[in-house]
Amino acid sequence: MSREAYQVPTGQGSNPAATGKSFDAYGGGSSNEVGPQMQYLCGDCGLKFQMRRGDAIRCKECGCRILYKERTKRSRRAYQVPTGQGSNPAATGKSFDAYGGGSSSEVGPQMQYLCGDCGLKFQMRRGDAIRCKECGCRILYKERTKRMVQFEAR
């Protein structure tokens, strides 16, 4: 049979693909008919919207696939989605600290690192961007100060 001669089955059986309904692996028929709706936040544009269990995991406004469940019983400060240019850590030049909420340049001890490409020695804190400040290389090594590490070729 040629591709042009093929006709899509239109049976009214219990096959979800034949009836056009989406399959719900957790029970029930179509996921659009039953189930509680959950409130989600888009990680890109900050839009709040509701989704059911079988809905496509995409923002309805911008199409972003990074979605967060809205937390209602927890602190709103810990789960704020950036909304403007002023709160974006990349736009302000500050690095984000996931453990404390503020800029990581204000908190925590500095560690000495070596760039794997250009060999530059520099200090970084816990939330700083993992890049060399001179060449931008992402391969960094912690400098050992109390212990000598020697690799030997065999």
**65-78 pLDDT, tens digit each:** 777 777 665 555 55
Give me the amino acid identity at 1: M
Closest-CA residue to 45 (of 18, 64, 30, 28): 64
* Residue of 153 and 143 predicted with greater confidence: 143
Q: How far apart are CA 57 and CA 42, in angstroms?
A: 10
The answer to whether 128 touches 103, Cβ cutoff 8 Å, is: no
Q: How far apart are CA 128 and CA 107, in angstroms?
A: 11
Q: How many angstroms from the chain centroid is the CA of residue 34?
A: 28
Asked if the domains at 37-71 and 110-145 fall in one CATH topology, the answer is yes
pLDDT for 17-46, tens place per residue?
Answer: 555 555 555 555 444 456 678 888 887 788
The residue extents of the domains of the chain are 37-71, 110-145
**pTM for this entry:** 0.27
Q: Determine the CATH number of domain 110-145.
A: 2.20.28.30
**Domain covering 37-71, topology:** Rubrerythrin, domain 2 (2.20.28)
Placement of tokens 């100060």 in the chain: 145
Under the banding of pLDDT at 50, 70 and 90, the label for residue 151 is: low
Q: How far apart are CA 129 and CA 137, in angstroms?
A: 11
